[in-house]
Amino acid sequence: MEYAIETENLTKIYRDRAGEVVALDSANLRVPKGVLFGLFGPNGSGKTTLISILVGLQLPTRGTARVLGFDCVKQSLEIRKRVGLLPENYGFYEHMTAYENLEFLGRLDGIPRGELRRRIDEVLELVGLKEWANAKVKTFSRGMNQRLALAQALLKDPEVLILDEPTLGLDPQGSAMFRELMARLVKEGRTILISTHLLHEVGFICSHAAFIRKGRIVAQGNLEELAKQYREARGYSYEVVVQERPEDLLRELRQLEGVVEVGLENNTIRVRASRDIMRELLGVTGRYQVRSLRERAPTWDELYQFYHGGGWGE
Amino acid sequence: MSEKVAIIVRKEVLENLKSLRYWSLIGLFVLLFVATSAAVGSAMRGLRIPGLELGRGRLVVQLVGSLSSAMSYVAPLLGIALGFSAIAAEREKGTIRLVLARPVYRDQVLNGKILAATILIVIAVLVSTALSLPISVTLHGVTVTADDLSRLMLSLIPSILLALAYYALSLFISVLSDRSSRAFLYCILAWILFTFILPIVASMIALSVLGPPPAISFNMTRGGQLPPQLRDYYRKVGEITSSVLIISPNDRYSTFVNALFTRRSPQTTSYVDLGSIIATRWVDLAVLAAYVAVFTLLSYIFFVRRQEVR
């Protein structure tokens, strides 16, 4: 598989008078090309440090990192030519207008003057700020600032987008716009790395993810691969939707080998098992009037709780 | 100059030319100069001490004294105003993250800022002088000769160097700081040290070394000369204070500008020739230039090597 971002034993240690803080601890991250990848972890888990190293804002203490094949230490300028970054805790020049800010940043990106005006109009349109192009940034709300931050990341039409907490401050309309935009950009073949702890905002649009805890990547892969790990540790979940109260079916399900728990909520039976019992379920439910049977995949929230709440790798 | 540096220079220059802070400092200079020169002019007209009569040359010298006095306060403040927030405020507001996420080298960012500050300082010094000098000259009805004018123009070099010295010092403090308020505080403390504390310390050292001046009664109106013991005492005080103040950019500036307008003798209106001034006072310019060079270099080292955007 071809990776857009690849790190190997990436380590970052901050040293000050108080001692050492290990922000990244031998992190091995693999982000395939052309996917929307979530980097999930709580505050202080090392997400921002990892991103800063990827775009050359910080140097690693040990290990290597490559973006689009370029080394983050030796070729960071090549990376910054191709990567659009929305950093955490960014700021704009407040006495300048949105347009002037983008013009300054776009020129630093090396976008030719003639093309820059068109690009600025395009990205302002994309994030819904076209009407505010000539308004000073100091008049902007938090959400508008976040939209402008997204616009500046898109300005150079990057191959890779790295977004650190991109939905912070966005209203529901803004979040919806953001998700639509991300889906469209991935369809165009771009790689997007979104770092966040707000899974409910962006988790469900990611096809791949990595979970970072105390500076270590504790798990990564696509949803199916991560769900498999989850099932192996937490068991399998199934949902059976029935037409009438199925006392006999409930009894039969409880007797199946490996079933840990059977619960009923309205017309839905939830079955939790320590092993894959889909074949047995098909056999049993075939004798009853059942509307549907499906294996329930874990949600990103459940996976987050699993990887960060102590169910994994402790 | 690379294109990236030019982009940063343009933004910085335009940003400051539109700022109230920049024009307030120029206004402050004009105000200080006009007020000081008016006060000096009226005081000198009131003086009728034999041997200290007002001549054309003396008034020009006094105007230059006012100019250097106003400049010695405002030029450092200008340097500080441009320097203290150069990096610290960008770090504090997070704008530096957006800039450094671009294909730009860190030294290009610093080059752009330093070049822009130099342009802004030159503009400020030229505009301040161009605005205030004609006002004062008209007020006092002084005729300025070509020699006066050429020396005045020459005095702009140490003025620019003084502002740049404080800019470089402030930039260095800014590079080390994460908060612009803290950087500003340290810069002002440095200014207070050089402007007010160091001259007092120098005088105290001289006094503790030489003791109080000899108690001699004399009549100043008789020939206008101090007795030899007193002259010798004050010469030694001058030597000790000068040795201490050699590190003060303010003192180096004042000393050089005053030397530019030193007359050959009290009886003549012609100045000491420029060649001999530069031969004897080059160290003043060298100290000012050293401040600029050392703190600029330190800023480069710490900013480029720091690479820790928090």
Tell me: do A276 and A199 sit in the same domain: no
Q: Would you call B99 and A105 a contact, using CB atoms and an 8 Å cutoff?
A: yes
Tell me: do A255 and A197 sit in the same domain: no
pLDDT value of position B223: 56
pLDDT value of position B138: 78
Could you list the pLDDT tens digit for every one of the 310 residues in chain B?
A: 689 999 999 999 999 999 998 999 888 888 888 887 777 767 666 655 444 444 455 566 667 777 777 888 889 999 999 999 999 999 999 999 999 999 999 999 999 999 999 999 999 999 988 888 787 777 777 777 788 788 888 888 999 999 999 999 999 999 999 899 999 999 999 999 999 999 999 999 998 988 888 777 666 555 556 778 888 888 888 889 888 888 899 999 988 888 887 777 766 667 778 888 888 889 999 999 999 999 999 999 999 876 554 3
Domain extent for A123: 3-226
* Cα radius of gyration rounded to whole Å, chain A: 23
The mean pLDDT value of chain B amounts to 85
Closest by alpha carbon to A240, among A272, A270, A279, A277?
A270
pLDDT in tens, A67-107: 999 999 999 999 999 999 999 889 999 999 999 999 999 99
pLDDT value of position B80: 96
Distance CA A133, CA A122 (A): 11
Interface residues of A toward B, Cβ cutoff 8 Å, are 14, 52, 55, 57-59, 77-78, 80-81, 83, 85, 87, 89-96, 104-105, 107-110, 149, 152
Task: Print the SS3 string covering A241-295.
Answer: EECCCCHHHHHHHHHCCCEEEEEEECCEEEEEECCCCHHHHHHHHCCCCEEEEEE
The mean pLDDT value of chain A amounts to 90
Both tokens assigned to A156: 């150079």
Tell me: do A250 and A137 sit in the same domain: no
Task: Judge whether A188 lies within some domain.
Answer: yes
Q: Contact at 8 Å (CB) between B152 and B113? A: no
Nearest chain B residue to A77 by CA distance is: B103
Tell me: do A217 and A269 sit in the same domain: no
- Identify all chain B residues contacting A105, using CB atoms and an 8 Å cutoff: 98-99, 102
Tell me: do A177 and A281 sit in the same domain: no
| Max Cα–Cα distance, chain B, nearest Å | 75
A22-31, A173-182, A299-308: lowest mean pLDDT where?
A299-308
Q: Say what the ipTM of the complex is.
A: 0.84
Distance CA A195, CA B56 (A): 74
**Final residue of a domain: which of A208, A226, A244?**
A226
Task: Judge whether A112 lies within some domain.
Answer: yes
The pTM score is 0.84
Tell me: do A218 and A240 sit in the same domain: no
- Identify all chain B residues contacting A90, using CB atoms and an 8 Å cutoff: 94-95, 97-98
Label the pairing between strands A191-196 and A36-40: parallel
Q: Which residues contact B85 (CB under 8 A, 6 or more apart)?
A: B174, B180, B183, B184
Q: Contact at 8 Å (CB) between B52 and B234? A: no
The alpha carbon of residue B113 is apart from the nearest alpha carbon of chain A, in Å, by 14
pLDDT value of position B145: 79
For the CA atoms of B267, B270, B273, B277, the dihedral, rounded to the nearest 10 degrees, stands at 60
Q: Would you call B95 and A92 a contact, using CB atoms and an 8 Å cutoff?
A: yes
Q: What is the DSSP letter of A138?
A: G
Distance CA A5, CA A28 (A): 10
Q: Which residues contact A19 (CB under 8 A, 6 or more apart)?
A: none
Q: What is the CATH number of the domain that holds A10?
A: 3.40.50.300
Q: Which residues contact B112 (CB under 8 A, 6 or more apart)?
A: B4, B5, B6, B7, B8, B9, B11, B12
The alpha carbon of residue B89 is apart from the nearest alpha carbon of chain A, in Å, by 10
pLDDT in tens, A123-138: 999 999 999 999 999 9
Tell me: do A221 and A272 sit in the same domain: no
Res. A51: pLDDT tops 90: yes
Structurally, chain A folds into a number of domains equal to 2
Tell me: do A174 and A133 sit in the same domain: yes
- Residue A298 region by backbone torsions, left for phi larger than 0, else alpha for psi between -120 and 50, else beta: beta
pLDDT in tens, B234-259: 888 888 988 888 889 999 998 888 88
Q: Would you call A108 and B104 a contact, using CB atoms and an 8 Å cutoff?
A: yes
- Identify all chain A residues contacting B11, using CB atoms and an 8 Å cutoff: 93, 104
B162 exposure class (CB count in 10 Å sphere: 0-12, 13-18, 19+): buried
Of the partner residues A14, A87, A95, the one whose CB lies closest to the CB of residue B101:
A87
The arithmetic mean of pLDDT across residues A191-209, rounded, is 85
Q: Contact at 8 Å (CB) between B179 and B90? A: no
pLDDT value of position B50: 47
Task: Judge whether A305 lies within some domain.
Answer: no
- Identify all chain A residues contacting B99, using CB atoms and an 8 Å cutoff: 105, 108
Of the partner residues B94, B103, B309, the one whose CB lies closest to the CB of residue A110:
B103
Distance CA B36, CA B38 (A): 5
Q: What is the CATH number of the domain that holds A257?
A: 3.30.70.100
